[in-house]
Chain A
């Protein structure tokens, strides 16, 4: 616990807070410019995000896929790699999980099997860009983007064609009852199930691996200084391959969690771009599992509240994407601001 605090206490945490405040300030100006009261909007965000049990459940379930994709990106960033292919890995993971969940029945273990299949699919999908990078020198971002197109369009074609369950919706056949994560509570129309806790458990595992296990140390060393890592006996290439595969597996798990926890099948609209949102989540969370969960909860809350915002104030839900974009820019501004303030304070003391 002390170590987590130590890791968070220093500059990065403050930078992230500054970035969120800055982004909120800019958002307030935008909201005011289109004729709304920023205070009202803020209270709607809070009401819709954590106002009652139903909205809290909604917030947690909206954060869940963001935690998975945020962890996926953070892991890759720690090794100096940019896994922008999270969306594609999420699609293949979700699709593979949906098929496994429909055709294979292991009773209550079906859901575990689905997670394993999704992780394997995500892992495999991530192998292509990292192999091209390490053996042919093409940057992994290019390979990832290409693999995203292939994954998304392949899955969409499969769900619209061979695996379409019914004419009215673009969905695969439903998963077995044992493929669902158990529901823990239901308020109104909102189901709260164990999928959220699975994401937290995975975050703890990622933390443990990154900061307590030799492999995590090796991947961080390979990311921070490949030369020193190699000279001390670390096989940098295989470390990067495994890291990228695990990053893909985490993204794939996010897809499976959506299938097992929210939709019960692969649905063509099942991801509004979670794989890409993971970039913002990881950056705001400073590539730290605890930070990633915190950032995912923030964005999850805003997403969940955006319905209320649209309904009550008629502000488009897209405003949260504006917020996400501003956060990234604000993160760049945060460090100089912190330094300047610190220098001013030091001067006064």
Chain B
């Protein structure tokens, strides 16, 4: 990478980093430099080694060879997260590491509790934290348990925690994956201010638009090697895609296929009429939700995270019965039908959080593929599972869905996050569905894989499947959904045909509940 002309200091310099996991070479001789006072982006396909590289910097993983120099100090082999924090490095991971029953205050001081005598000095901690939060420009109730905070508030708590430990180099792994547009803008404004104060921001993301808009430098990884580095003024979507996946540039440049035609007179596949729901604690999660979905139709559901998206998905697939109202599937009411029987009617589900609801990490690829189909007679002979047939099926899916995996009997955790997502997509979408409930289906997928995922959804829709597409990616909703509705505090507001909408209008509905 060329050195920038300005007087920026290289704060973290990694040279010749190698890292193997068993047979796979995750990093092969990666050079990476992060400059102070700037936002340094790291981009690349799924499994390109972005997260691995950052885990090496943060001391969560040990490199097999190579040098890491932070603030001109060479870090020897015994790097650890504890030492990294001591050196002023902080990392916000893809999956937050907060203790849910603890308050924000307790979470932030966890691991570096200020003490007075033998007691934790809460007052001093509070004072320091309030200063940090004021500086961050965010408002968070420090005494509220984390479980009661929204995703963006939790993120703020995580950032405050990094600053509390004195971090000067802040690593963010996919920080905007679950944020609303306004929240994303706020986050980047905050990152820019931190950079202007001289902090070093390192950003892993799949969202090229955000990189182009906000990053100062970008490093592109491909299969464990650096393929390109750009400065701000050289960045364009074309350049970045060309560096990430040269062979796919053509696919992405191709205009998306037309949305399938929807027959307005066809009977709806799914209909909700005045559905109300409450959670276990009795709080209302859905209020009078009504819509209908015809064969071949893709209905996009937008909304700020936590507005009832998960509850909507779960009530449709049959995990909870609605409190009132009715759910009609292919003409019959299914309020009391359980998830297994609804699956038999062709309902498939791509959950928002695959670790919580989609896959079983310690199980093999074969068993993860079997999940949900484990009662099908097709996969059994004389009662027993036909494991060889299943292996064959997994190999086929590995090919069809471009999953970077070899052995069907390897555990799921041996795959990168994006490849795990692809396997889950393959399992659900190949099931000959009638109704697809997809909640952030491209979470963790790179540009190409995300595009392929949508192409597959369009293909299924054109065969007459109905798709309920719940997403925080407004651009995707605008390009791939026929109609868009917005969930606002459990209420579903019809926003109209996507061809007559733009991100700003949806953003207003998401945050205010009205377009005015």
Contacts and interface: CB of A to CB of B under 8 A. Distances in A.
A232 interface: yes
A225 interface: yes
Interface string B344-376: 000001010011111111110001001110110
Interface residues of B, number: 34
A3 interface: yes
A141 B152 CA distance: 38
Contacts of B370: 217
B434 to A, nearest CB: 15
Contacts, number: 71
A60 to B, nearest CB: 29
Contact of B360 (A221, A233, A235): A221
Interface string A201-239: 000000010011110011011001101111111110000
Interface stretch (B45-53, B221-229, B249-257, B335-343): B335-343
Contacts of B339: 230-233
Interface in B248-280: none
B490 to A, nearest CB: 21
A212 B385 contact: yes
Contact of A214 (B314, B358, B375): B375
Interface string A224-264: 11011111111100000000000000000000000000000
A228 B349 CA distance: 11
A227 to B, nearest CB: 4
Given A221-B371, A224-B360, A231-B317, A212 B383 contact: yes
B95 to A, nearest CB: 14
Nearest to B338: A235
Contact of A217 (B314, B343, B349, B367): B367
Interface in A274-288: none
A136 interface: no
Nearest to B344: A233
B374 A231 contact: no
Nearest to A212: B384
A6 interface: yes
B338 A233 contact: yes
B409 interface: yes
Contacts of A224: 360-363
B115 interface: no
A153 to B, nearest CB: 37
B340 A213 contact: no
Nearest to A217: B374
Interface in B315-346: 317-319, 338-343
B1 interface: no
Interface in A23-54: none
A308 B318 CA distance: 62
B357 A228 contact: yes
A233 B372 contact: yes
A228 B375 contact: no
Contacts of A235: 338, 340
A68 B341 CA distance: 36
